[in-house]
Amino acid sequence: MNYNKIAEKLDTAALNAKAIPQISLERKLNLEEAYAVQSILLARRYIRNEKLTGLKLGFTSKAKMEQMGVHDMIWGRLTDEMCYHNGASLPRDKFIHPRAEPEIAFLIKKRIDKILDHSDLEEYIQGVAVAIEIIDSRYENFKFSLEDVIADNCSSSGYAIGNWMPVTTNLYDINIQLKQGSEIIQEGNSNAILGNPLDSLAAVSRLALESGEIIDNGHIVLAGAATPAVFIEKNQHIQAVAEGLGSVSLNVV
């Protein structure tokens, strides 16, 4: 199977909401090859007129790595097709086996041309918000190797973002919850994200520079979940809440 064929399989699985066997069962990719497949997969979306809206990090917390049995950070791309408004309806049938996770999002105000550190926040970051990420692995049983999930654009399939807040908001040691109706179904702390979610900006800017990907003005960055992700079903009201950042919700229909 060449890269194009793998990308086509993954793309078709997403379009038809039908899972496929893990690529690694048939063809072992290394990390570089897996990112090459991801690029081709995204090119297929761009041809359909989807626009890149930003990048996401994955497995930035121990909770997520343990849940999925992987050992390293990954990054993927977000497009406008994946974007849902706060409070919007999320059509369950568009996905295979969707899971929700609470995230911290950043809004970029200047094209990133260096590895960011905390002193660059004011210059490069417009705002911070709480977000819900919807992940939907294209692989059967949501099972994959690190290379498999990278090729599959890190399971990216949807996101919703709450109100943008000024970046001066403290992001260290804040409580993050995922709720279903009034029930808290996951709870974590922002420090679970690389020690401090601001450090995800250093990580994503380094990874983007290394790979030649541009993080531009108006793009968003998802820092990675602080808690394990939870399967979602029709008729659920899903909400993410982060201390000091408010909340964001989706209605699964």
33-38 own/partner pairs: CB under 8 Å, 24+ apart: 33/3, 33/147, 34/146, 34/147, 34/148, 34/150, 34/151, 35/150, 35/211, 36/3, 37/3, 37/6, 37/7, 37/10, 37/150, 37/151, 38/76, 38/77, 38/150, 38/151, 38/152, 38/153, 38/154
Q: Going residue by residue from 82 to 121, which x/- string records binding to ligand OOG, judged by CB under 6 A? A: -------------------x--------------------
86 or 155: CB nearest ligand OOG:
155
Q: Does 136 bind Mg ion (CB under 5 A)?
A: no
The strand ranges marked E within the chain are 52-58, 74-79, 83-84, 89-90, 99-108, 125-135, 156-161, 175-180, 183-189, 220-222, 230-231, 237-242, 246-252
40 or 100: CB nearest ligand OOG:
100
Provide DSSP, 198-226: THHHHHHHHHHHHHT----TT-EEE---S
Q: Does 23 bind Mg ion (CB under 5 A)?
A: no
Q: Name the closest residue to ligand OOG (Cβ).
A: 58
Q: Does 149 bind ligand OOG (CB under 6 A)?
A: yes
Distance CA 118, CA 121 (A): 6
Q: Does 224 bind ligand OOG (CB under 6 A)?
A: yes
Q: Does 227 bind ligand OOG (CB under 6 A)?
A: no
Candidates 38, 79, 153, 155; binder of ligand OOG (CB under 6 A) is 155
**In the complex, what is the shortest distance from the CB of residue 200 to ligand OOG, in angstroms, rounded to a whole number?**
10
Which residue stretch of 90-98, 147-155, 208-216, 237-245 sits at the interface with ligand OOG (rule: CB under 6 A)?
A: 147-155
Candidates 133, 136, 147, 213; binder of Mg ion (CB under 5 A) is 133
Angle at 201 between CA 80 and CA 69, to 5 degrees: 80
Q: Does 225 bind Mg ion (CB under 5 A)?
A: yes
**In the complex, what is the shortest distance from the CB of residue 164 to Mg ion, in angstroms, rounded to a whole number?**
19
What residues line the site for ligand OOG (CB under 6 A)? 56, 58-59, 64, 68, 101, 133, 135, 137, 149, 154-155, 224-225
What residues line the site for Mg ion (CB under 5 A)? 133, 225
